[in-house]
Amino acid sequence: MRLLITGASGLLGISLALESMRAHEVIGVDRGKLKSAPFQVIKADLLRRNAIASILDQAHPDWLVNCAALTNLEKSEEYPDLARILNAEIPGELAQACEKRGVRFVHISTDAVFDGEKTDQYTEEDQPSPLGVYARTKFDGERAVREADAKAIIARVNFFGWSLSGKHSLSEFFVNNLREGKYINGFTDIVFCPIFVYHTARMLVAMLEKGLSGLYHVVGGQAMSKYQFGVEVARKFGLRESFIQPKSVLSSSLTARRSHNLWLSTHKLSTDLGREIPNFSTGLDEFYTQYEQSYPQKIRGYQQELPTESGNLSTGTPTP
C-alpha cells in the first residue's frame, strides 16, 4: 500500500511513517522541517489554497492518514480560528477529496472529546461533550469527516514517545525535567490511557490492513493519572520519582479546561482487530530501549540536510 501521512514531522506522524515504511510505501507531508527523513517527503502547508489537491495528485496514495493538527490546548484557546481551520475544516476537506478520488482516509482525533463526567469507561457509543477550543474543534473535525466520507476511520488517540523537538510529549516532559533535577508537578486528577506511540502506529497499520472503517478508541488498555504515569516513567529511567509532586490540575495556571476522566474502552478495537491492545509496561520498555539506542538523536537528525560525497548539502530523499 502507498500511505500518505500529513503531519509527518509530528510525534505520531514521524512514528507512523518510520513504522509503516517497513511494509508499505510511505510519503510524508511536511512544512519544511524534514530534510533527510528516510521516506519520501512532499513539502506543503495545508493552509495554502489547493494544497490538498496538490498532495493527492503528487502522491496517488491508497490511504491518507491525517496526523496534522493544532495540538496545543493553550494555543488553541489563544488562536481559535486557526484551531477551527486545522482541526475541523481541513479534516473535512481532506475527507471529501479522498472520497472523491477513492482514497481511504484515516483521521486522528482525541480522547479529549469527552468532558470526563462519566465515572466509568467511555465507549464509542458515548456522546462527546468537549470542554475547550481544542476538544471542540477536534470533535467538529470528526463530524466533518464522517459527513464527507462514511468509510473513513476516525481514531481517538492518546500516546507517548520521542518527538522531533524532544519536548512535545508528556513522557519527554518527565524525563527531561527529572534528568535536570527539577521538581515538577504531576496531576493526580486527570486519568488517561497512555500508550507508546509505536504501538498506536502498529494498531493503525493493522486497522488499514484489515480494512476497518468508522470510529475507534485507539488508546492504551490501562488507565492511570498523569502523576502515576510520571512515576512509572521515573522508575523506568532510574530518575527520582520523589521530585514529582502530586498536584491537582485545578491548582495549575493552565487556562484550557481539561477533563478529569479520559478512561476509554478499547473493547471495540481489540474485538475487530482480533488481538489484545499492547500493554503499557511493554510500551514503556520500548520507549526506554529507544532512549538507550539514541533514537531521540536519530530522529532529530532528520532535520539536518545530508552532506553529499562532494561535500555539498543534499535535501535527502527526493520528493516524488
Ligand X SMILES: NC(=O)c1ccc[n+]([C@@H]2O[C@H](COP(=O)([O-])OP(=O)(O)OC[C@H]3O[C@@H](n4cnc5c(N)ncnc54)[C@H](OP(=O)(O)O)[C@@H]3O)[C@@H](O)[C@H]2O)c1
Cα dihedral across residues 220, 223, 226, 228: positive or negative:
negative
Q: Tell me: does residue 78 bind ligand X (CB under 6 A).
A: no
The length of the chain in residues reads 320
**Which cell is 72 given?**
496545543
Nearer to ligand X, 12 or 152 (CB): 12
Work out which of 69, 95, 135, 269 binds ligand X, going by CB under 6 A: 69
CB of 91: closest distance to ligand X in angstroms? 9
Residues 253-272 that bind ligand X (CB under 6 A): none
Work out which of 2, 101, 168, 236 binds ligand X, going by CB under 6 A: 168
> Whose CA is closest to 104, among 150, 142, 147, 141?
150
**Which DSSP letter does residue 310 get?**
T
Q: Please work out the total of residues on this chain that contact ligand X, with binding judged by CB under 6 A.
A: 25
Nearer to ligand X, 137 or 308 (CB): 137
Q: Which stretches within the chain are classed as H helix?
A: 11-20, 51-59, 73-78, 80-84, 90-101, 133-148, 170-179, 197-210, 226-237, 267-273, 280-292, 295-301
Q: Tell me: does residue 224 bind ligand X (CB under 6 A).
A: no
Residues 84-123 that bind ligand X (CB under 6 A): 86, 108, 110-111
**Which DSSP letter does residue 266 get?**
-
Nearer to ligand X, 67 or 190 (CB): 67
Q: Which stretch binds ligand X (CB under 6 A): 7-15, 210-218, 286-294, 303-311?
A: 7-15
**Cα atoms in the Cβ-side hemisphere of radius 13 Å centred on 10:** 18
CB of 286: closest distance to ligand X in angstroms? 16
Helices 280-292, 197-210: crossing angle, 10 deg rounding? 120
Q: Tell me: does residue 283 bind ligand X (CB under 6 A).
A: no
Q: Which residues in this chain contact ligand X in the complex, by CB under 6 A? A: 7, 9-13, 31, 33, 45-47, 67-69, 71, 86, 108, 110-111, 138, 157-159, 163, 168
